[in-house]
Structures are given as structure tokens and as C-alpha cells.
A and B are shown apart, each in its own frame.
Chain A
Amino acid sequence: MSLTTPDTYMADDPAGDFPIVQLLTPEGERVSHPEFAYDGDDESIRELYRDLVLMRRVDFEAHALQRHGEIGLWPPAQGQEAAQIGSGRALRKQDFAFPTYREHGVALCRGVEPGKLVGLFRGTELGGWDPNEHGIALYSIVIGAQTLHATGYAMGLTLDGAVGHNDPDRDAAVIAYFGDGATSQGSVNEAFDWAAVFNAPVVFFCQNNQYAISASTDRQTRGPIAQRAGGFGFRGMRVDGNDVLACHAVTKAALQKARDGEGPTLIEAYTYRMGAHTTSDDPTRYRETAEVETWKLKDPIERVKRYLQVQGTPQEFFDALDAEAEVLGKNLREACKALPEPDLEALFSMVYVDGETPELLEQKAAYVAFRDGLETEGTPA
């Protein structure tokens, strides 16, 4: 028997029996949906557009920094801007996000400065920001682990009485980001189970970008990802992940449901990673150019631009935004190079809250003595 995947596989058949929510077509035309609608005006769409453009700029700039040897690695997010900005902008201040390592757009929505995003990848930090200050946890490298953290945090919200008051300033929710590959992990399935059992105010936001490094989604699962929620006892839905309006509308509704105390939702944002998995990856080994070309036509930014142009947005708006992106890029380059070099001596005190253990104190003293000894040896007499 061979271990090939049967043809009957359906997960990635967007025309299959799992409906997809779309509010803005790739041609830039707004369409209606029986349940979900984008509730903002054109001015708010211009703001979303600005976010999309700036996110892409940060992503490109970080990519370039890697090519220049300033950072060791970068996971590009091109193609996933709508999923991240649409969902990220649906969050309120008191909500909390648990990202993977590719949620640059979500982090920007949470007010994390672009320069702080690259610390992890430059090797100056293991995190880069204060989760409590921004309402977003640190990037999670271990696939799926953060979905359980999100669920526990959401259970904490329930215990704190922070849901179900019909009070927009008080009620809070959690959003957990992960990829299609992550759905194969036990942790993610345990998170689904716990969230359902405890009716936790958490939105599971899966960016199905079609690949886990080189493995396509059919290597992870045989059924539509969105459908999986049903087995755990909550609702799953699939949204056009390249449509910022649909991503915003669907996430906003799911977050509100969570804040109202009505439990979890799984959103599968159907999208595509245009670039490599990370800067160390070679996607030409596992996917066809033709496939990439078809997804180019669904670009999440172009369709918003078309819409705004047809609505009569003046050219000056686009020009001003280009200029703003230029400044942002320059600032990121400078911020990256200005990141302080970490100090191993200082790290000894970061292991425990209650100060260094006797072992750590001894090892620190030995390290310092050895380091200082080298320095003295190195200086000419």
C-alpha cells in the first residue's frame, strides 16, 4: 500500500461544500452576504488600506534586512495582509492576541513598533515587547502551543467576569492565530476541546496559507479545517482570507460573540503565502509557478485599491501613503541597527523571578571572571 493522499480530499476545494464568506471581490467590487457585512464607511476602508500597505512595507523591509545580513531570518507575510489586518483591526484594546511567528500585521495593529518585531530574528531578544502593554503575547515558535495559552487566558477572562456585560469597554475576548499545519498538533485540538468545554471567549483564527513549509494542506488534514470546529461543539466558518472587509466582519462578529459570553469560534481564513516560508526556504521545490500566478490575481491589497479608486479616492491619498511607507521603511532600518546588543551577564538574572539560584550566581561569577580575564589579556601591557 502506498501512502499517497486519495483524490477525494476536499479541504482545499474552495468551491466545495464549505461556503466562503466574501465581501470584496478580487476585481474590487463589493458583494453582499446574507449574514456578514462590513459596517464601516469608505474613510475606514482607506484606513484599512493604509494598514495593509504599511504592513507590506514592514515585511518587505525586514526581508531586505535579512538579505543584507542585518537579521538572521524572516518569515514573510506577503499575501496574508488582509487576514491579519482585517482580524487585527477587529480587536479592542482590552482584547488579547496570541500570535505565531508571522503575525507582523497583527502586532502592528496592537501598537508594537516595527523595530521591535525584528529583535527576535536579529538575535538580540527572545521576545521584543511587553505582552501586557500591547495586548499581544510574544511570537510562538513552537507550532500550536499558543492556542492553549489563548484558551487559558480566555478562561481567566471568564473567571474575572470580563465577559457578558454588554459593555464595550469592559467585555473582552482573545484571538489565537495559527496555520493550517498547526491543526495537526495535539495542542491545537486540545485547545479546541477546552475552549468548547469551558465556553471560553476565544476566537481561533487559522490562516490557511496552503502550506506548512513544503507540506500542502492535504498532508495535514482530510476535511475542511473550518468544519473541524463542529466536531468540538462550536461554529467554524471559512472566509476569503484575501478580503480585508470579510476578514474584519467575520472576526468582529466572532469576537463579539465571545465577549458576549457565547463561547469560541473557529475562523479559517483561506489565503496564500506568496513568498517563501522563511528566508531560508526555497518554495520552487514544492509549488508550481502557475499556482503562485493565480493567487497573484487575488492580491489582498490591489482589490482594495481598485475599490477606492472607483470610489474616487484622490491620487494624493495614494502618493502620501507611499511617502509614509518610505519613512516607515527608513525608520525600521535604523531601529533594527540600533537594537541594543544583549548582555549575557544580565541574562543570568532573567531565569527566575526570585533572583539567581546559587548555581547561577556561581556560574555568573565564573563567566564574568573569565570574560574580564580575556579582556585584560587582550590589552597590551
Chain B
Amino acid sequence: MTKMPLSKGLNAGLRAAMEADEKVLIMGEDVGRLGGVFRITDGLQKDFGESRVIDSPLSEQGILGTAVGMAMRGYRPVLEIQFDGFVYPAYDQIVSQVAKFHFRSAGKVKMPMVIRIPFGGGIGAVEHHSESPEGQFALTAGLKVVACSNANDAYWMIQQAIASDDPIVFMEPKRRYWDQGEVDLDHDPFPLHKSRIVREGTDATLIAYGPMVKTCLESADAAAEDGVNLEVIDLRTLSPLDLDPVYDSVRKTGHAVVVHEAAQTLGLGAEISSRITETCFYSLEAPVLRVTGYDMPYPPSRTEEEFLPGLDRVLDAVDRSLEY
């Protein structure tokens, strides 16, 4: 066990992946000499050279579009999108090209690439720096989407994503980059496309991913003081979803609350809620509730405390669920 912040977990994971496979390339704006604006790629160019850690032009469609050609040439590009709000110029290539190539070619062409996106709010940034576009990728067939929430997952999930032959959108909770956590370098990692119970409980189930996992754990701590015992599930994989642990939990607790920063309407919470209802209808003692961002563009940062789901809103939803 080694203690390190989530950002360092990613950095160490990237390093391990580059050491394991020389076809792994990193590409993005400022990823080389600067080590990325969040320093996730710190020191990698120095050790692996400019041909493997490529400072790209300021051109998101270029990053994704050239990566398609590189993947066709047998490389495994790992791409950094500097901030969530800047992925849209590349959206066309991700959705129309990356996601569809394997299908279009009847399995002849693989797109083994990882698209890293620091996402979510809570750092007091200016506009376009705090968005949650994960749902837009999760609804695109052909892509897989994962989100890490802690240093250990950061270290292992990035390596697993890079090793995958399918394209993976890798969401990084930017406000948790600096959170310290234990990383287990020696034991086999938890599988990539599996969700995980991170706190056991009996009264209600909280379902979250990325930055909201910590919020839910804190909520559970607070609820415990009032004698309410919450189970918390870290989804980890957003596409495909792994909901079996969720169903098991809901069958046990009868109450489910989904928590995410992205806007409510057509967000992942809608899908999860629908599936819980389809699968666990007779176990439910209350409708599945959601605690999410509001259906508005990300607001000025001085309002983000209220905009983002926090402890109080989560606990309020739990109360409403338990009162049914």
C-alpha cells in the first residue's frame, strides 16, 4: 500500500501503461513539457520522449481525428482533453468516427484509445471548466465510459482502460485530483467494468460515481450519526452500466437515491432509475429519487455550492425516500 493523491495515481498508472506497451502514446495540449494543466502527465515526456508524449496543436478535433489514424496504424493513443467544456470540437470525431469504426468495418478495425476528460465542478473555475458531459458519451453506442473516484482506481483503471481494445472515455473528477488515498500496487485490480459497494448499509442505497462518491460517503457518515444506515455504491463504469450490485442492494434496502453533478433531464440517473424500477419493482418502498445538477448550463462559480449536490441535498432526498 502506498499513499498518493488521485492525480499521482493517474500519473503512475500512465507511466506503468507506457512501460508495459511501447505502442501507448500520450497526446494533447500541453501534456509534454508542462505535464498537462493538472500535471497528470508530469515527467512522462522527459522519460519517454517527444514521440510518445506529444504536445499537440491547440486543436481538439485534430487530437481525436489523428488518433483515429494512429489507432489504425497500431498505436494506442491516450488523449487528454484539457477541460470538459472543450471536448465538443472533438465530439464529431468521437461520436461519428471513434465509436463506429469497429462496427462499420465488421470488426476489421479496432480503435483502442482512451479519451481522458477532467470533469465536474467544485473548483471555482470560470465557465466551460466545470461541465459533466459523461452522459453524452454514455448514450453513444460503441464507446465505453468510466469514471474513477479515488487514487487506487485512478491508478488501476487508467491502465485497464489503456489495455482495452475498445475506445474508452475516461472521466476524471477534477476536484478530487488532490485527495490522498491508498494505492495497492501489488494485488490484482478490481475489474474495470464493475461497480463496487464502497460502504455497506441497510436503510437506503446511494448510487454515485466520480466526484459524488466522496459526497455520498460523507453523507452516509452524517446519516449514521442519526442512526440511518446508508449503503453507498460507486458505479465506476457508466457504459456499460453494472447494476447487479445496485439491484441486490435495493432488494435489501428498498430505497434508492442516484446522485450526479450532471443535469437531471436525460442524465444517467434517469436510466438507472428506470432500470431499478424495471428490475426491482416489488422490492421498492419508494420511487427512485435523483439528486443532480439543475437543467441549466453550469452557473457562475460563486453559485456552485448550491448548484452541486452536497451533503444536505443528499440527506434530504434520503429522508424523503424513507418517509414514503
Contacts and interface: CB of A to CB of B under 8 A. Distances in A.
Nearest to B60: A190
A145 B97 contact: yes
B72 A347 contact: no
A261 interface: no
Interface stretch (A34-42, A240-248, A349-357): A349-357
B22 to A, nearest CB: 10
B70 A359 contact: no
B108 A358 contact: no
A255 interface: no
Given A148-B93, A186-B89, A359-B240, A191 B73 contact: no
Interface in B26-81: 51, 56-57, 59, 61-62, 64-75
B184 interface: no
B107 interface: yes
Contact of B69 (A130, A138, A151): A151
B57 A347 contact: no
Interface in B226-262: 239-242
A144 to B, nearest CB: 9
A123 to B, nearest CB: 13
A152 B73 contact: yes
Contacts of A187: 61, 65, 92-93
Contacts of B106: 125-127, 350
Nearest to A350: B103
Given A156-B75, A159-B75, A186-B89, A194 B66 contact: yes
Given A190-B59, A193-B62, A354-B166, A142 B69 contact: no
Contacts of A186: 61, 89
Given A357-B240, A358-B240, A145 B65 contact: yes
Contacts of A347: 103
B127 to A, nearest CB: 22
Interface residues of A, number: 43
B2 interface: no
A147 B57 CA distance: 16
A149 interface: yes
A145 B96 contact: yes
A351 B103 contact: yes
Contacts of A138: 104-105, 109
B144 A148 contact: no
A353 B110 contact: yes
Interface in A99-136: 125-127, 130-132
B142 interface: yes
A138 B104 CA distance: 9
Contacts of B57: 190, 193-194, 197
Contact of B72 (A153, A193, A360): A153
B69 A154 contact: yes
A82 interface: no
Interface in B100-143: 100, 102-110, 112, 141-142
A316 B61 CA distance: 53
B248 to A, nearest CB: 15
A153 B74 CA distance: 9
A148 B240 contact: no
Decide if the interface of chain A is mainly helix, strand, loop or mixed: helix
B226 to A, nearest CB: 36
B283 interface: no
B106 to A, nearest CB: 6
Contacts of B240: 357-360
Interface string A29-65: 0000000000000000000000000000000000000
A156 B97 contact: no
Query: Which of A156, A159, A191 gathers the greatest number of chain B CB atoms within 10 Å?
Result: A156
A350 B110 CA distance: 11
Size category of the B interface is 35 or more
Contacts of B110: 353
A142 B98 CA distance: 13
Contacts of A354: 164-166
Given A187-B61, A190-B59, A130 B66 contact: no
Interface string B142-158: 10100000000000000
A237 interface: no
B112 to A, nearest CB: 8
B65 A191 contact: yes
B104 A151 contact: no
Contacts of A349: 107
Nearest to A347: B103
Contacts of B142: 351-352
B69 A155 contact: yes
A375 interface: no
Given A190-B59, A191-B65, A127 B105 contact: yes
A137 B72 contact: yes
Nearest to B102: A353
A249 interface: no
A262 B41 CA distance: 31
A359 B72 CA distance: 27
A377 interface: no
B103 A145 contact: no
B164 A149 contact: no
A87 B282 CA distance: 67
A142 B70 contact: no
B45 to A, nearest CB: 15
Contacts of A149: 65-66, 68-69, 72, 97
A349 B242 CA distance: 19
A319 interface: no
Nearest to B104: A126
B165 A127 contact: no
A291 interface: no
A150 interface: yes
Contact of A145 (B25, B93, B141, B166): B93
Contacts of B62: 148, 151, 190-191, 193-194
11 contacts: A126-B100, A127-B108, A145-B96, A148-B64, A148-B68, A148-B69, A149-B68, A149-B69, A156-B69, A190-B59, A351-B141
The 9 closest A-B pairs by CB, nearest first: A148-B65, A152-B69, A156-B73, A152-B66, A153-B69, A357-B240, A353-B165, A126-B104, A190-B62
Given A148-B64, A157-B73, 10 more contacts: A126-B103, A126-B104, A132-B109, A153-B70, A191-B65, A194-B57, A194-B62, A353-B102, A353-B112, A353-B166
